[in-house]
Structure formats: structure tokens, C-alpha cells
Structure 1
Amino acid sequence: MSFVHSTDTADLPVALRGGVVAIGNFDGVHRGHQAVLERALGQARQKSVPAMVLCFEPHPRAVFQPDTPLFIITPPSMKARLVQALGFDALVQQPFTREFAGHSAEEFVTAILEQRLGISHAVTGFDFHFGKNRQGGPAFLMEAGARHGFGVTLVDAFRDEGAEIVSSSRIRTLLEEGDVAQAAGLLGYRYTVEAEIVKGRQLGRELGYPTANMALPANTALRHGIYAVKLRRADGSVHNGVASFGRRPTVEDDGAPLLETFVFDFSGDLYGEVCQVSLFGFLRGEEKFDGLEPLIAQMKRDEQEARALLAAVSPLTPLDREIAFA
């Protein structure tokens, strides 16, 4: 069966019923999340049943704190790509609203896990809470599983080599600082964004540096600056490049942030294509130059530095190979 990305638990294909489900928000699908996901995959293989990921969309914090922007590391389409690469059969999103949040923990177990998904086993992090006022915790889930006929596995917090817990908030902070290399160490793959290539002012073409432009979600708090990147096309081909994320201060007063990727040794047309860009290294912050000539000179230096950096990289993990490499 091909991978299923369902945007509502009510739409689950019958063939996926009886599966093992990993439950959580999984923003970032980082190494800590992967510890939970690998346990779920192991259970599914042992039982010879489908493996699913159940998450909540939008992120609950966006519902309860709508005036506080939340930097989402992996929007739904990217999350689906990651869990598919890990070996899951489906990503199932439960629409998260205040009405849904008002349901009791027992209602969540009965309506979602038993009736809609028909699960045989649930795997969650040790601190997973659910239901109105977070009344459902690990002990409740295990007791409910015994009553409803499914098993439950709880996974302890995952710590990195420095004994610190790997968390989405740590990764967001690193990306806000531009430290994509350290963020990759916690993610287990290079931070990757996905969007349609759109037309810009085409100034880069006039300067000899045509770029593939992507408008990222408004809550993307990645540090503005220049990055060594790899761009993956819809056909699966991967190309090295250098990208600028920011507002282009030399040529615009206050443009909306764009990710502009100059793809090395490429002359094709990417407009309208949905591509992914993986960030391998931060080269420098965004600067305003005194005219186009010093800007072009710096762009040439950026290109040389990015080429050198990318010539020396290798996959961090099998998942990194699948996401960021050819």
C-alpha cells in the first residue's frame, strides 16, 4: 500500500485499521521523536500490522496562544516526507480546535483511537498528556488501553551526547541563531524547507546569479543570512547551491522575507515546481552593501565558500541521506 497522508482521522483507509500508532506533535521529527517512532515501527513489524503517526494540526500552542507566533520546524507536508522516509505507512492529522481540546481523555481514546483508528497498540513519549485540561496522562492511557483492547508503550526522554534532552524548542533556538549545523545534530538530518518556486524581481538574473525563490511560512524564524544548501527538485534530482534568506536590504527597503537559492551549474526553469532546500552551513549574516558591485563581489565569495563546504559533506544518518542527498 502506498503512503497515506490523511488530514482527518475520520478519513482513515480501512486497510490501516488495527495498526500501531505513534502519538505526538512531532514538530521537527528530531532524534527524540525518532526514538518514539522507531519503537512504534518495531511493534508494527512484530505484529505485521500497519505503522501510523498521529499528530495534531495546527499545533496546540497555536490554538491556545494565537497571539504568540510559533516557529514550526516541520509543516505537515515536510513531516509526512520524514515519517514516510522512516518507514511509516501513514501520517494522520487530527484537526485541533478548542472544541476538540474540550473533549475528555476517555472521549479521545474511545472516539479517535478505538472507533476511528481501531489501533492495536499506541506508542508515546513518557510525558504525553491529552484530553480536557490535560487530564489524560501515561497511567491513564495504559489503563484505558487495557479496557479498550490495545497495548501501550511509553518511551523515556532522549538525551544527546551531552546528556541534554533533545527538544523542538532547543532546535528552534539554534535555527533562530543560524546554527544549522548543530540543529542538524539534534534533528538527525539537515533542516529542510519545502515550497513552490515563485517569480521574484529577477534582479539576480541581471547580476549573473539567477535564483529559485521560495516564500516560507510567516512564522519561519530562521536567522536571516547566507547558507550553503542542496536543492531537491520534484524529480528527485539534488543540486548544490548557495541561498540567501532575508529581505534583500541592498536592493529593497523592506521586502518580505524570501529564500533565494542560486543553484550551481544549472540553467533550467523551476517556476511553479515544489522543491526542497536543505541547509548545510551558515556562511554569514545578511548585510546591506553600498551598491551592486560590492554585493556581486561578496556573492562570488559566498559561492566559493559554499562549494567548498558542500564538497566535504556526507550524510549524518540514513534519514539525512534520504532527505538531503541524491
Structure 2
Amino acid sequence: MEENTAPSGGGRGAQTTRTDGGEQPGRGAGVRDLGRRALAVESNSVLIATIALILFIGICHPDFLTWDQLKEVVQNAVYVGIIAAGMAFLISMREIDLSVGSIFGLSIVCSALLMQHGWNPWLAGLAGVILAGGMGLVNAVAVQLIAIPAIVATLATLSMFRGLAQALSDGQQVTGLPAQNSFFTFLGGDKLGLPVSVWVLILVVIVLTAVLRFTPYGYRVRAIGSNPEAATFSGISIPRTRVQTLVLVGLLSGVAGMLGLAFFISGDPNIGTGFELQAIAAAVIGGTPLRGGSATVVGAVLGAILLSAVNSGLAYFNVPVNWSNFATGAVILTAVALDSLIRGRRALRRAALDG
């Protein structure tokens, strides 16, 4: 293809034309190409949406952009964010765990009761995480032995675990915990300008991203979601991988629970209600498709931060609390619709290139 370069007013003003009548890509095309590349990364679209939302709220209410307020937004997203990071693994396998909110609440209540009965808080916290992993194992056993979908099994354990938390606590908050213990002052405090819980969230993101992308287990998770029949044919054990993932999600729910206990210094049997749907929404908004086969831990956490920013922003706009669920649902629907549109355009572009 022949090209002619015609100077116009000096070297800097040189323009490039093509003899075939086409148009040489200029700055506008370069910007568009950069935008496409940015959106091609699953987590970038939710990152852009989160930044845009925060800036919009900040323009309307400058106080929202203060460091303390932004820290609070991220702090409020920690618990759902950690759970959503694990949920991304499950959704990548075309599975869903509806009991994570109840596991979160029951682990908090049990650890608080152990502390109330004289256990060392750190030991009680470790017991809470192990208990949460055990609840994940209960889910896995139910799925494997009864041979029912995970969504059905965990729908049942959602009620069982929540009911057990309410029964053990007599429906009351578990209080009177040793708030001066390092478990509460450290895990519930700040280090290097950020809450410790946020540092834990960052660590979880780094570790789980490495596990998902660079380990045989992460490969098995994605392979099962992409094509279960092909995964089985290649020797991957779907039952074993499913058990491992359900236990992982349980453990992460326990970690989130202990951070919540350290922050609130009490065990509320109703805490975590609705976390399961928020975690699923955060993972999907962040770029983990329900059809399985791929996942992004970073995107799942960013999705949780986006939902937290929505809830915080509603307070600044004096939206009645009764409308908060409606607004959150509208944001989820819009985000998922835009994500679906972007993915559809990518598929059409690939089809056109392949054709």
C-alpha cells in the first residue's frame, strides 16, 4: 500500500494521506484505540465507573472527596469485597453460594461467645475462621452427597446457619467483649493511614489473583467453567475442585467476619444479611460472567467498592433509606447491562475479524 507524505507548514504540521482514499489514523483514532484497550480488561470498566461515580458525587458534594470519607467508603466495602473475591472463583465455575452472609454472621457470633466465655480473642478469632471453613465444607458435602446444585444446597444452609446464629445468641447482640485486647485494637485500627481491614483486603486480592492466574487450581477452576465436559475428559476432578472452592469461600467469609467483629466489637446474629446478593453482584459487575470460564478478583473487589460508594452517596443526596435498595438494584442492573453491551460489541468485532 503506497503512502504519500505531504508537508504543510513545516515538519510538525506534516499530514499523512493515502492514495487508496483511506484515512490514516490520527490522534482521535489513537484515543479510541486506547479506550478500547482499557475496556478490554475486565476490571477496568468497573474501575472507570467507580471513579466517575465518586467524582460526580464529589462535584455535587465536595465533602465526599475528603480522605476520611473515601476511607470510609473502602472500609464499608471490605467485608463484601473479601467474600466477592471468593465468589468470583465459584461463579467462574458456574456455581453460586447463597450462604456466605449467614456464614459471616454465624462465625462472628460463635467467636464472640467464645470470647465472652474467657477464650483468648486471637484464638477465638482463629476458631471462627476454621468454623467458617467447616460451614463451607458442609455446603460441599451437601452438594456432593445429595447431588443437588450448589445454589439449592446453599439456599437451605443460608437459613440453617442464620437460624443457628440467632439461637446461640438468643436473638441478642453478644457484648461485653475485651475491647482493649490487641485483637480489637489492631484489626479494628489503622496502620500507615489505612484501616488494617483494608490492608487485609489488599493482601487477599494479591494472593487470590496469583492463585487464580498462576496455579493449577486456578486453571482447573477456569477450565471447569469454560467447558465442564472437556475438563472432565482432560482428567480434572470437578467434585474435588468444587469442594475446595466452597471451603475457600467459607474461609474468606470467616476472615471477613473476624474483621467485622474486630471493628464492631460485638456479635450481632443478623449482621451480614444480604451479603450473599451483594457479593454476587460485586463479582458480576466487576467482570466475572455468570456463564463461567473467567474471573477477576480485582474486579470483584472494585464492584464491592462501587456498591459502597452508591450507598454512601445516597446519604449525601438525602435519599430516604427506604429507597437505598432500589437505587442499589438500579445501579447493578445498569452496570450489568453496560457490561453485557460491551461484551456483545467485542464478540461482534471478533466475529467480523474472523470472517
TM normalised by structure 1 equals: 0.22
Structure with greater strand share of residues = 1
State the TM-score, normalized to the length of structure 2: 0.21
Larger Rg: 2
Larger helix proportion of the pair: 2
